[in-house]
Structure 1
Amino acid sequence: MKLTLFKVLPVAVAGLFIGSTANAQETPTNTAKFRTWSIGVNAGVLTPLSPLGGKNDFSNNKSSLGYGLYVKKQFTNYFSLRLDGVRGKLKGDNTEPYESGLVNSSPVRAFDTDLSYSASLSAVVNMFNIDLFKKENALQLYTSVGAGLAGYKPTITTAAGTFDYAGDKTISELIIPVGVGAKFKISDGINFDLGWTINFVDGDNLDGYYRGSNDKYNYAYAGLEFALGTGKQLAFHNPVAVTYDEAVKAKQTADALKSDLDAQKSENAKLRTEMADLLKDTDGDGVADKLDKCPGTPAGTVVDGAGCPLKTPEKVVEKVVVTEADRKVVADAIKNLEFDLGKATIRQKSYATLNRVAALLIEKNFSLKLAGHTDNTGSKALNLRLSKDRAESVKAYLVSQGANASRIEATGYGMGQPIATNKTAAGRQQNRRVEFTLY
């Protein structure tokens, strides 16, 4: 039987711990404001049997006074550890037959066991809250299981007389207490406790009579529990109700915020409407209708701050006058302009007249168009490129002498615009030219 008890104990304790861990998920994280330590005193009836079945060694088991003390630590709303101590008497005899009518023929006629001590550590699980929507309940149901040690001295009576079963020795055996109970809260610091515990003894010597099955004893008690510290008791705190209240408050807060948000949206919509009226610009000139002194301005019209068209000053065009003397300077340059054969390189003898053209452009800020032409000797593409290069060469030289490059345009026309016949050498000479046009 010892092997069986040692197998059952860890399974039972593990089951309670698992259940308490699952329940602890709803436990408030801050337990500092709650009372978690308590002590209890109780008194009740000790009976050497179990109503859950099994063999009873004696046909007439008597009820005797028992009393106990415990210390408890509440870890969560649902789970605590409780250290119990119980003392008392266990008695029984065979003066009456069993309920079935059979007479107990045991050689031991009676026993009187002094329960010197019974110490056990139990895991206690609060089963449920009576009212799920009440933050603190006045009634609490619980169950417990644990392990401990009991020390006792059986005194037995036989035909030979009365004597101590184990002499002066105190027998010590492992016990497994399994219990249920109900607790009623009287105040924040005091509870009325009703409980019933069945203690399974890892031995068959509690009553001084060995029959091959483990003994058991009951302890039904009533007592008071005193919660230590200040604040509410964590054991009676209902996290479900607290969570529900917080959810209700959160919803009320959310509803209030939504109401404020809706009101703000309505106010913003009103402001947008007013701003739209204030900023309305029918003619699209950038000036609001309320400030526009010239409504209906045509699209694209530049307006002033009052929405009226701006009066732009007329552009003064400076008249360029080209004199005969100017034209003579250009004509001399054209007359004296020579390039190396088949190239765009200006010969040095042309520099003097080109310098006078550059000075004229600088002095009078004239614009000049240079048009390059060739005869029909060679391919069309070659002549077009050569005419363009020669015009650019003249432009580059004038710019090097200080003329404004942005006022000089150089274009090549190739052999497309002859001014003389290309059939004679004299005609081809006339067609190989760069024309200067002042403006």
Structure 2
Amino acid sequence: MRTIKTLSLLAAASFLSSAAFAQNNPETIQGTTPLGDLSQYRTWSVGVNVGILNQTNLFHFAQRGNSEMDTNFGFSAYVKNQLTPSFGIKAQYLGGKVGGKNTSGNGFESKVPFSLALSGEYLFGNTNWRVFNGVLKPYAALGLGVMSSTATIIEGGNKTEQDNLTKLYVPADLGLKFAVTKDVNIDLGYQLNFANKRFDGVVNGNFQPDVFTYIHAGVEIALGSKQKPYLGNSNPVATMINDYTAKYDEVKADRDRLNAANNELKAQVQSLSDDLKDDDGDGVANKFDKCPNTPAGTKVDGSGCPLPEMKNETKVIEKIVVTDEDRKVVDEAIKNLEFDLGKSTIRANSFASLDRVAALLIEKNFSLKLAGHTDNTGSLQTNLRLSKERAESVKAYLVSKGANASRIEATGYGPNQPIASNANAAGRQANRRVEFTLY
């Protein structure tokens, strides 16, 4: 009797103190989302347990004077479908034998070969907002079932077996589940069973039921793919936090990628700026300037070096007029101008028409603007650099033939000023050009 009471008190104490021993189990929230459907989880589980069946209970009611309890082993198994993290429906089988005697030696034995009950089970641990996924989960269950039992009356040393009876009974459970893994729970429980129809062989008055207890320990195992968490070991709060964290990490990763792309673009712009930089202001970029740091106002050739002093007097043209013949010379040079593929090197068959342009510049003291252009094939940085280099290359050639470098302006526009569509080869060919403007 004392042993039974001790086990009952331990079960109750474990239930009441579970919050103090709660721990986190983050494995149970992987791969789930808030408000997600049940397909994200495993919802079915099976459980088996063994324990002690007797007529005592914590409240000492409905004992019929049978104070000397027999301690008999019982066993049960159940199948459960978890409908929410906190609530599930289980079908439970219970079997065994219950017995007891009073102080005069009279008593009873009741064999329970079969019982089946359907119960609703509520898990308190999965509604805890302070502990995401508690390892210790107190629970309560209440159900209704059908039981087959045979009672034997013991009186004066004689045993009288009564007929087998089928009756309704109500199982009420309090217990504690210990989540040892995301698939397995240890189950400790205290079950009160309320039965009618002479469970102990005695006719009860005033609809008073017979009561017997089942103190048990067992294991519950989740069924299904181990890639999914078990719903009975999941806390909605933990799922919400996990989903928020994952989305925050994704946004942070996108931000880092955008920052990296922005830094790369800044580096390209800086490189392009460095290529076009002209520190001494002589009209020749540092990249092509063979004589850097020339004094301000110094006339230089296409390579950035000072021109030799001209001994002959410079002709002063009061009014500069560009004739149609002059434009024909320039147009012919534009038409015949060719470069090596992807380079700023002028091909030899372009020299003759360029020579005529140089002679025209010297003779009439024209100013000339050279504008380099490309198609949109390749990167913007590469095309801007190539267009500038080709314009500078034409300027250098003209200066080498005696043209005044200070009257020649070389600019590169890359693909930014197309004169035809870049969608076809003919259009791209037309866009790869160096324009000559006399003035």
TM-score range, shorter chain: 0.3 to 0.5
- Which structure would you say has the larger Rg? 1
- TM-score, normalization by structure 2: 0.47
- TM-score, normalization by structure 1: 0.47
